[in-house]
Chain A
């Protein structure tokens, strides 16, 4: 038994302190302790960190995965605490153990940290410390350590000695031939980066062809589709590090096999990476092979594959001649616009505009516009939205005149559709359309349409139309609103049907936050004050609500506050003496909110 003072002195030693902290029951405490591991290392100094702290951490593995994860992360940036790059290899020990644990996240983090550190090692240290570690992990009993090993090759390879590189390639090929699919998957994932690393080393280009291509072929022909699909990025990595002739000689055959793979997940991967693939293999193969392959993918029987392929249409179009687009791709695109899956159509609608700059004006008008109009009538709203959101690209190519000629009839038709949901859908796109088409076009063609919605028979449409007006004000500015919208809105305030008058009030209320004091004073205020004496109580209490909103906007500047005092408050007071109970209620509420003495009920405390 040590005396209390000695125990206290003992607990001042960094390692003991860490041990105490790690004994804690509370995971959060252990976590925060590991997170600040650098403090301990700093207190110990480099020499004692290497001799005491790292050996201690080496066996410190029986903790929660969360704690281990943080430990793996911390160790990745520990180089400076162990005495700089020349001692960086000492950190590998604890990380090696972490790279073999069961939890994937911890292993991945440990592998990442090891890769980081291996960049700081000298060729000799790689020989002495890193390669043995790699050997131990790659031949470990559990697949976990072998999986982790796969990711470690790429970072260290360019710096290693030729003999070490030799061994690394050998080790990698044993991993590619592993029994468990988990390891083969990891190898397939790591093959691309590894190939890049080999290609970086001068004079090893032939090794790429003789050693690594066979590994790729082997993985690409794996009997598990989950392995095969991971070889697609490898294919891109290989192709971009080889000349086009070599690619053609070596990779064409596996490429063909992947495109027509029997598993749709592999074909999906190909479709998803298609542009990258086409860029890396060079124009010749694109012309000879990939165009037909792409057509095949666009006609694939799985909707997911078609969706992915549709997403690549403009990207791929950039790589081929306009003739090819017209003759080969457009027929497929046409077919896709009638696809049975809504997701395929939505993906197509998102991308189809990208073809316009590639085809040029005439071809766009002749071939793309009909597809556009067709998709614009699609029943699935996402299709229409995707199409409209990218309209600008087409606009730039064929000009506003042609676009509006073609588009307007379609929009008009939808705007007067019998189904109110269709009308509502098109209203929601109007602000977006307006930003793309510009103010002049809007005033000429669409302004009247927006006003006619205010008189719609369905309330939801009228409501959407008022919100639409506010958004348009935000887009085109208050001056535009004053000259274009407001006169028409106010005109409706004199309509014999009270519902129209109500719409005026609603429109004013909705637009108020986007207007400024001058406009409110000159235009809408008078109109709303006139409606105070409306015979219908419904109108009167909505005026009260409207005045409340207006007052909130006006109170932002001194002139507005004066207006509130002079005109709004007296009116509200008058409304408080109304014969209708609802009008009195809303007027009182508005009055209290505006004057600020809004005495809400005291909170009930139990």
Chain B
């Protein structure tokens, strides 16, 4: 009985851990998307500025 309980507790802890790691992974993924978009934006701004300089 006691072993079974321990096993249950361990299992629950593991599940919680998995959920936490999955959450972290998802947020890291989203963050990466956002950062990529920022890089793109900066590239865009840089390109525009260069064009502006060349033009003016």
Using a CB–CB cutoff of 8 Å, the interface residues on chain A facing chain B are 11-14, 17, 20-21, 24, 26, 28-29, 32-33, 36, 39-40, 42-45, 606
Q: Does B45 contact A (CB under 8 A)?
A: yes
- The answer for the CA separation of A39 and B44 in the assembled complex, in Å, is 13
Q: Does B25 contact A (CB under 8 A)?
A: no
Contact with A along B26-40 (1 / 0, CB 8 A): 010011001001101
Tell me if A43 and B45 are in contact (CB < 8 A). Answer: yes
- The answer for the CA separation of A20 and B37 in the assembled complex, in Å, is 11
A29/B30 contact (C-beta < 8 A), A17-B38, A36-B38 known: yes
Q: Does B41 contact A (CB under 8 A)?
A: yes
Considering residues A17, A43, A45, which has the most beta carbons from chain B within 10 angstroms of its beta carbon? A43
How far does the Cβ of A15 sit from chain B's closest Cβ, in whole Å? 10
The dominant DSSP class at the A interface is: helix
Q: Does B19 contact A (CB under 8 A)?
A: no
Known: A17-B37, A43-B44. 17 other contacts (CB 8 A): A11-B37, A13-B41, A14-B41, A17-B38, A24-B30, A26-B27, A26-B30, A28-B27, A28-B31, A32-B34, A40-B41, A42-B42, A43-B41, A43-B42, A43-B45, A44-B45, A606-B7
- The answer for the CA separation of A115 and B45 in the assembled complex, in Å, is 32
- The answer for the CA separation of A40 and B35 in the assembled complex, in Å, is 12
Tell me if B38 and A12 are in contact (CB < 8 A). Answer: no
Residue of B nearest to A30 (CB): B34
- The answer for the CA separation of A26 and B34 in the assembled complex, in Å, is 12
Tell me if B40 and A12 are in contact (CB < 8 A). Answer: yes
B37 contact set on A, CB distance < 8 A: 11, 17, 20
Tell me if A29 and B31 are in contact (CB < 8 A). Answer: yes
Residue of A nearest to B34 (CB): A21
How far does the Cβ of B47 sit from chain A's closest Cβ, in whole Å? 10
How far does the Cβ of B30 sit from chain A's closest Cβ, in whole Å? 6
How far does the Cβ of A560 sit from chain B's closest Cβ, in whole Å? 44
Tell me if B34 and A33 are in contact (CB < 8 A). Answer: yes
- The answer for the CA separation of A431 and B7 in the assembled complex, in Å, is 48
Residue of B nearest to A33 (CB): B34
- The answer for the CA separation of A13 and B37 in the assembled complex, in Å, is 10
How far does the Cβ of B11 sit from chain A's closest Cβ, in whole Å? 10
The dominant DSSP class at the B interface is: helix
- The answer for the CA separation of A432 and B34 in the assembled complex, in Å, is 57
B31 contact set on A, CB distance < 8 A: 28-29, 32
Out of A14, A29, A36, name the residue touching B45 (CB < 8 Å). A14
Considering residues B30, B41, B44, B49, which has the most beta carbons from chain A within 10 angstroms of its beta carbon? B41
How far does the Cβ of B31 sit from chain A's closest Cβ, in whole Å? 6
How far does the Cβ of A34 sit from chain B's closest Cβ, in whole Å? 12
A12 contact set on B, CB distance < 8 A: 40-41, 44
A42 contact set on B, CB distance < 8 A: 42, 45
- The answer for the CA separation of A45 and B45 in the assembled complex, in Å, is 9
How far does the Cβ of A17 sit from chain B's closest Cβ, in whole Å? 5
Tell me if B30 and A17 are in contact (CB < 8 A). Answer: no
B41 contact set on A, CB distance < 8 A: 12-14, 17, 40, 43
B42 contact set on A, CB distance < 8 A: 39, 42-43
In the complex, which residues 1-56 of chain B have their Cβ closer than 8 Å to any Cβ of chain A? 7, 27, 30-31, 34, 37-38, 40-42, 44-45, 49
- The answer for the CA separation of A20 and B40 in the assembled complex, in Å, is 14
- The answer for the CA separation of A535 and B10 in the assembled complex, in Å, is 48
- The answer for the CA separation of A42 and B44 in the assembled complex, in Å, is 12
Out of A13, A39, A44, name the residue touching B38 (CB < 8 Å). A39
- The answer for the CA separation of A70 and B34 in the assembled complex, in Å, is 18
How far does the Cβ of A255 sit from chain B's closest Cβ, in whole Å? 57
How far does the Cβ of B27 sit from chain A's closest Cβ, in whole Å? 6
- The answer for the CA separation of A29 and B23 in the assembled complex, in Å, is 13
Pairs A–B under 8 Å by Cβ, sample size 24: A11-B37, A12-B40, A12-B41, A12-B44, A14-B41, A17-B37, A17-B38, A21-B34, A26-B27, A26-B30, A28-B27, A29-B30, A29-B31, A29-B34, A32-B31, A33-B34, A39-B42, A42-B42, A42-B45, A43-B42, A43-B45, A44-B45, A45-B45, A606-B7
A45 contact set on B, CB distance < 8 A: 45, 49
- The answer for the CA separation of A146 and B20 in the assembled complex, in Å, is 43
- The answer for the CA separation of A12 and B34 in the assembled complex, in Å, is 12
B49 contact set on A, CB distance < 8 A: 45
Residue of B nearest to A43 (CB): B45
- The answer for the CA separation of A17 and B34 in the assembled complex, in Å, is 9
How far does the Cβ of A447 sit from chain B's closest Cβ, in whole Å? 53
Residue of B nearest to A20 (CB): B37
Residue of A nearest to B39 (CB): A39
